[in-house]
Structure 1
Amino acid sequence: MVQLILYSKPGCHLCEGLQEKLEQIDDFPLAIEIRDITTRPEWFQAYQYEVPVLCRKIDGADGPREEPLPRPSPRASVGQVKQMLQKYFPSGDSQ
């Protein structure tokens, strides 16, 4: 299962668009955690000008960590977003 984190904020059309596309991918094992950057000052500070930010969640020996992924174009289709994910997760597994 590919574990993703989407840093987002309310009213962000780019964030909503990417979330909708990710949710439409039904034949690729995804678990998506949506994080509203307005709920934590450290998230807001880090991502206020960058959202949407998509990260892969990695459970390592030293504990969980995050690795940012390239942001897909807002014009990317659901298929193109899926293709991008398959490039980074060829087996559909985050580990």
Structure 2
Amino acid sequence: MDKIVVFYSKPGCCLCDALEATLRRVQPDLGLSVEKRNILSNPEWFTDFQYTIPVLEVNGHTLTGISHRSTGAQLAAVLERAFVA
């Protein structure tokens, strides 16, 4: 099974940059593929996520319990649970 994480963000978002850095650190250990989506490039993404980015999605489900302040261990735990569900 492919472990694909969709990462919704926009340029210049410091919260997005912080979460992306943590995501990139855990990515190799978890064997993840990350698909980064700029919400400014799609009106539907912008409407859905303009007030909530950064957002991670796994298998069509938005993940909760993460933020730009999540540690690598916290993020890895949330992602591992998401791929089991």
TM above 0.5, one fold? Answer: yes
Greater share of residues in helix: 2
Q: Where does the alignment leave 5 or more consecutive residues of structure 1 unmatched? A: 58-65
The aligned counterpart of 1:11 is 12
Per-residue CA distance 1:5-53 (angstroms, 9 max, x = gap): 0110111111111111111112111011000000111111111111111
State the alpha-carbon separation in 2 of the partners of residues 50 and 71 from structure 1. Answer: 13
Larger radius of gyration: 1
State the alpha-carbon separation in 2 of the partners of residues 51 and 8 from structure 1. Answer: 6
Is the contact between residue 7 and residue 35 of structure 1 (CA under 8 Å) also seen in structure 2? yes
Aligned length in residues = 83
SS in structure 1 opposite 2:45?
helix
Q: Which amino acid aligns with 1:22?
A: L
- Offset at residue 71 of structure 1 (A): 4.5
User: Aligned residues: percent identity?
Assistant: 36
Moved over 4 A (4+): none
State the alpha-carbon separation in 2 of the partners of residues 45 and 73 from structure 1. Answer: 20
The aligned counterpart of 2:42 is 40
